[in-house]
Structure 1
């Protein structure tokens, strides 16, 4: 079974991924295999954590899971990939970035210069650590950094659990590597493109290959409305 995941910062495809996993688990048998063709630079930890948990369901069912990375599986993308029994990658795929980053602008000085006061009221000492509008404190910065370190520790524990032979401290620096270097670091298991892997399975293992994709069917009324609006815009009538 072949599924695809093209990740954005919100891991928006996680709902479709869940449905695809449901469909596969409903019919797959122990001797079957799932290939996830993954492309993602990462994003929010909760979204990619959920995506990784969906993939873990495949392994828990005793079905072999392979993740193919042709271009990039970084940060949250690698969090997903690490769940696999085997990670394959093209020679110049970008892999790794096991780290956590967060940033936000602060325009408090600009507002103060314009005579604008910002009041921030919270219930709970650390309900808000850093703010874009108010004045940030060293205590708030320290707490924010502490929260990032907690997420990083959980990230490392996740990777170490699924890839116990990996020297996690040497690769959990936030750096990324290209395929050949990633192989030497045990971040991936084999250098081959997803296309070549599928072709090899088809030729040498007598496999039946099924592409699984979940799509929401749009109503005819919505399609007609969209077509009508496009016609009006093209003809300058709207």
Structure 2
């Protein structure tokens, strides 16, 4: 009850500010825009981020930028109630969102259109993913110099074995299961049939999704869309002739196209205004009153990046120190009645994942925990997920890859080429097992194979217990097999296919907590940068790995940009690729 005076004071301040500004907004009400401009770029989170009051050195978003799916939904709900508003202009630029977030944005647009409003999409250049979002618009406009990079998806898995041998490096790995193909990246001279078939399965699913979305949005048959994809990419004129866009309009001519230029007016002086300008013309805009009763709270703990032991600062690794502390804090938070474990990880080390799993299980004994993934939740990442009460996924997320491998790189050939001589002296049969000066001795390989088998059996036990299945049933689904979310649900590795917000509401429902107007509290900081080659060559304490080869080795291309589920996931030193920037799907 001590907070009541502060709540009253805060609301009084909001009331005074609203009342003082009302006359000025009334004077501007005649200039209220009939179309409001929004700009979709990058990967906006599901929920609004909490930003520092004085972000020195930080770049501020553009006035029209969509800062979260949540704020976009709230804005369109407000505009839909205004009879003077005809619709919105949705500008798409350098958009990189997973399919699940694209579907969430499309759902927001569909609700807006369902209330009699128009959505006009405009872009300069779009790839597969951005164009599939634009297809939800009533009208798609393209800049005269623009392009539509509608070309489908391609993949370029790597086999570095021969290349490494040429510089004197040999890879020695032991794996459990023919589908655990991650070591093949370093050992094989060609991509295996199993790896190729796995990649092609994901290509087929994403390609089918693209065809369906474009066919529905542009009112074409699937056969027509497939024929168009085979003719891509498109210049602006060819895109117009093919019916992929409705008109070619420069940015300066957009107001005239939308009928905003009055007779005798100057199109150059007419601008499309963002949401902030619209709010300045509403006498009494919605106010975010401080509630007397606190909103329901949900804790979100991200596990994003390679899962490794140790501590971490900024970057792109999910370290045990960061994740375990975040889980403990979420468990202690009495206001958070449930926890969503957001996983975006291709895997990591069994040691680190088991530590995180134990922390998840401890929290799950106190309150409901739902694991959710919309990109990659594979191998060690999936091991962490099975500690949750339920596993929820988007349709096209990568799931599974239950398996283990271990090994090292032998640098003797490289050292010989460089004139470097090293002598290995050891006491103990396996003392030099991870020496880079030579390969494994028969005794060392036998020891390593036994350790990998033990880890694999432990992995099966963990998943079988978490999923309520027998060990043999899980083994039939394991050995490194990778599934999409839809196929993972059919196999029993996933409980539900849905979006992030649905998973959050379900977690609160399990906690018997209200689901309307809930807020999110995020626990856990950014992750450390990771070098895969350094990790595999011995940075990890255990030197055994549970990684998803499809997520690590894939480079799915749509002409100019990598497919976002696996974008830039690969070898930092050998192929010049780096892990993707952390994409926070929620605020907090």
1:159 and 2:457 aligned: no
CA distances 1:163-195 after superposition (whole Å, capped 9, x unpaired) = 122621111211111111100110000001213
**Separation in 2 of the partners of 1:32 and 1:201?**
9
Contact 1:87/1:190, CA 8 A, preserved across alignment: yes
Asked if the contact 1:89–1:193 (Cα under 8 Å) also holds between the matched residues in 2, the reply is yes
Greater RCO, CA 8 A, separation 6+: 1
Alignment partner, residue 81 of structure 1: 385
Please tell me whether residue 169 in structure 1 is matched to residue 475 in structure 2.
yes
Q: Secondary structure at the match of 1:67?
A: strand
Q: 1:91 and 2:395 equivalent?
A: yes
Q: May I ask how many residue pairs the two structures share in their alignment?
A: 214
Q: Which runs of 5+ in 2 are unaligned?
A: 1-298, 309-316, 527-588
Shift in Å at residue 73 of structure 1? Answer: 0.5
- Decide whether the 8 Å contact of 1:100 with 1:151 is kept in 2: yes
Query: Given the superposition, is the C-alpha separation of residues 202 and 153 from structure 1 closer, same or farther in structure 2, using an over 3 Å criterion?
Result: closer
Could you say what secondary structure the match of 1:120 adopts?
coil
Q: Aligned in 2, Cα 1:125/1:60: closer, same or farther, shift over 3 Å?
A: farther
TM-score by length of 1: 0.78
Select which of 477, 496, 500 maps to 1:194: 500
Q: Is the 8 A contact 1:9 1:43 kept in 2?
A: yes
Q: 2:306: which partner in 1?
A: 8
User: Which residue number in structure 1 is paired with residue 435 of structure 2?
Assistant: 131
Shift of 1:113: 7.2
For residue 347 of structure 2, give the secondary structure of its aligned residue in structure 1: coil
Matches of 1:56 and 1:200 in 2, distance apart?
19
2:364 corresponding residue in structure 1: 59
Displacement of 1:143 in angstroms is 1.7
- Structure 1 pair 200/46, CA: closer, same or farther in 2 (3 Å)? closer
Contact 1:39 1:71 in 2 (8 A): yes
Which residues of structure 1 form unaligned runs of 5+? 217-238
SS of the residue 1:24 aligns to: helix
Name the SS of the counterpart of 1:84 in structure 2: coil
Q: Root-mean-square deviation (CA), in Å?
A: 2.8
Instruction: For residue 327 of structure 2, give the secondary structure of its aligned residue in structure 1.
Output: helix
Q: Name the residue aligned to 1:224.
A: none
Partner residue of 2:520 out of 184, 187, 210: 210
TM-score (norm 2): 0.34
- The verdict on how the C-alpha distance between 1:23 and 1:158 changes in structure 2, with shifts beyond 3 A counting, is same
Whether the 8 Å CA contact 2:327–2:523 is kept in 1: the answer is no
Deviations 1:50-90 (A, max 9, x none): 111111111222x1110001111101100001111100000
Deviates more, 1:174-183 or 1:141-150: 141-150
Secondary structure at 2:523 match in 1: coil
User: Tell me, what secondary structure is at the counterpart of 2:329?
Assistant: helix
145-154 or 92-101: bigger deviation: 145-154
Q: Which moved more, 1:165-174 or 1:194-203?
A: 194-203
The Cα offsets for residues 95-132 of structure 1, whole Å up to 9 and x where unpaired, read as 00111122422233455677765332333322333532
Structure with higher Rg: it is 2
> What is the CA–CA distance in structure 2 between the aligned matches of 1:136 and 1:113, rounded to whole Å?
21
SS of residue in 2 equivalent to 1:35: strand
Distance 1:86 1:9, change over 3 A: closer
Question: Is 1:28 aligned with 2:334?
Answer: yes
Alpha-carbon shift at residue 7 of structure 1 (Å): 2.5
Partners in 1 of 2:307 and 2:330 — Cα distance? Answer: 26
**How many angstroms apart in 2 are the aligned matches of 1:66 and 1:33?**
8
